[in-house]
Amino acid sequence: MIDAVVFDLDGVIVDSEQVWDEVRVDLVHAAGLPFPPEATRAMMGMSSPEWSRYLVEQLGIPGTPEQANAAVVERMLERYAEGPPFIPGALAAVRRIGEQWPLAIASSSNRELIAVVLEAGALDSLVPVAVSSEEVGRGKPAPDVYLEATRLLGVEPRHAVAVEDSQNGIRSANAAGLRVIAVPNLHFPPDAESLALADVVLGSIAELTPAVVEAAG
């Protein structure tokens, strides 16, 4: 039995993984430093305290992690100013699922960015619970953000379904005990080992229906 559905945000509802990447690359290059190719995947799913420390301690940008975090979030908000890059079919899919189950967001995005996306998509009244991994102990692939989302929803993780796109996200939801619907990110597709943990794999978020959620459960 499925009691709730928890959506990831970046790569599931908004086509933003590459936007995050561009902003961080620009910040590193502005400091006159190289951005190694492995850094993109390393930071995917990290909480904002984690990727902020990574930028400073691993990539060497000047300042504190808190300053790095503020700089990245400011640039992301600027990019979202004219409207977040919603994935085609995502808003309709969320509304379809919200007609049948309580919803939550479990995201690596900062709280400010989650709020902007939900408001711009008129989803704020439909999604009563939104958790940023900056608010829990560890980012994805640790299960913390999904455990907190299901706790706030008042449901057992085994009675919830997650909708994810990335390997760290899939692993996070799986580790928390949720059933997982994967919609592989086209820009940064999950590896085969991570994808094998999903209960259902879709070609696009537009394919997500109540029947698919029931099948995952």
CATH number of 27's domain: 1.10.150
Return the pLDDT at 144: 97
Cα 5 to Cα 72: distance, rounded to the nearest angstrom: 29
Identity of the amino acid at 26: D
Q: Which residues of 141-175 are buried (b: 16+ CB within 10 A; e: fewer)?
A: bbbbbbbbbbeebebebebbbbbbbbbbbbbbbbb
Mean predicted lDDT score pLDDT of the chain? 95
Same structural domain, 176 and 194: yes
Report the alpha-carbon angle 5-18-53, nearest 5: 85
Angle, helices 167-176/144-153, rounded to nearest 10 degrees: 50
Return the pLDDT at 55: 97
User: In this predicted model, what pLDDT tens digit does every residue of 39-59 receive, in sequence order?
Assistant: 998 898 788 999 999 999 999
User: In this predicted model, what pLDDT tens digit does every residue of 58-101 receive, in sequence order?
Assistant: 999 999 999 999 999 999 999 999 899 999 999 999 999 999 99
Return the pLDDT at 186: 86
Cα 82 to Cα 153: distance, rounded to the nearest angstrom: 31
Of 80, 105, 131, the domain-final residue? 80
Q: What is the mean pLDDT of residues 98-119?
A: 96
Return the pLDDT at 170: 97
Instruction: For residue 14, give the 3-state DSSP assignment.
Output: strand
More confident site: 104 or 41: 104
- Percent of the chain scored above 90 by pLDDT? 90
Same structural domain, 108 and 167: yes
Return the pLDDT at 140: 93
Q: In Å, what is the CA distance from 124 to each residue of 18, 48, 83, 119, 153?
A: 24, 22, 15, 6, 15
Residue 125 burial (C-beta neighbours within 10 Å; 0-12, 13-18, 19+): exposed
Same structural domain, 103 and 194: yes
Q: Which domain holds residue 115?
A: 4-15+85-216
Return the pLDDT at 46: 86
User: In this predicted model, what pLDDT tens digit does every residue of 167-199 receive, in sequence order?
Assistant: 999 999 999 999 999 999 988 899 999 999 999
Return the pLDDT at 183: 98
- pLDDT-derived band of residue 155, with 50, 70 and 90 as boundaries? very high
Q: Which CATH number characterizes residue 133's domain? A: 3.40.50.1000
Cα 5 to Cα 3: distance, rounded to the nearest angstrom: 7
Return the pLDDT at 64: 96
Same structural domain, 163 and 190: yes
- pLDDT-derived band of residue 128, with 50, 70 and 90 as boundaries? very high
Same structural domain, 118 and 28: no
* Strands annotated E in the chain: 4-7, 103-107, 129-132, 160-164, 179-182, 200-201
Tally of structural domains, the chain? 2
Give residue 21's Cα distance to chain centre.
Answer: 14
Same structural domain, 109 and 169: yes
Same structural domain, 92 and 173: yes
Return the pLDDT at 18: 86
Q: What is the mean pLDDT of residues 19-29?
A: 95
